Amino acid sequence: MKMLKPKILCFILVSSLANYAQKSVTPSLTKPKIMIGIVVDQMRWDFLYRYQDRYTNDGFKRLQREGFSVENTYINHTPSKTAVGHATIFTGSVPALHGITGNSFKERLSGKSVYCVEDSTVTAVGITDSKSERMSPRNLLVNTITDELRLATNFRAKTVGVSFKDRAAILPAGHAAVGAFWFDDKSAKFITSSYYMKELPQWLVQFNERNEPAKWMAQQWNTLFPIATYQQSSRDEAQWEGKYKGYKTTSFPYDLAAIYKNSKSAIRVTPFGNDLTLDLAKAAIEGYQLGAGKETDFLTINLTSPDAIGHQFGPNSIEIEDVYLRLDRSLAKFFNYLDTRFGKNAYTLFLTADHGAAHSLDFLEENKLPNGNVVFAPIIKKLNTYLEQKFGVMSLVIGSANYSLYLDQAKLESLDAEKVKRAAIGFLEQQEEIQFAVDADNVGASAVPEPIKTMIANGDNRKRTGNIFLVMKAGSFEASKREGATHGTWNPYDTHIPLVFMGWGIKPGTTNRIYHQQDIAITLANLLKIQAPNGSVGKPIVELLKP
Q: Is 82 a catalytic residue?
A: yes
Quote the CA–CA distance of 148 and 164 in Å, as a whole number: 25
* Contact (CB, 8 A) for 71 and 83: no
* Contact (CB, 8 A) for 386 and 257: no
Beta-ladder partners of 437: 470
Q: Amino acid identity of 445?
A: A
Using CA atoms, how far residue 354 sits from 15, 40, 47, 162, in Å, is 53, 7, 14, 15
Q: Do β-strands 397-401 and 404-407 pair in parallel, antiparallel, or remain unpaired?
A: antiparallel
Distance spanning both ends of the chain, measured CA to CA: 49
* Contact (CB, 8 A) for 50 and 232: yes
Q: How many CB atoms lie within 10 A of CB 443?
A: 19
Beta-ladder partners of 434: 472
Quote the CA–CA distance of 396 and 379 in Å, as a whole number: 13
Quote the CA–CA distance of 63 and 60 in Å, as a whole number: 5
Catalytic site residue from 73, 78, 82, 352: 82
Q: Do β-strands 179-184 and 159-162 pair in parallel, antiparallel, or remain unpaired?
A: parallel
Query: What residues are labeled active site?
Result: 82
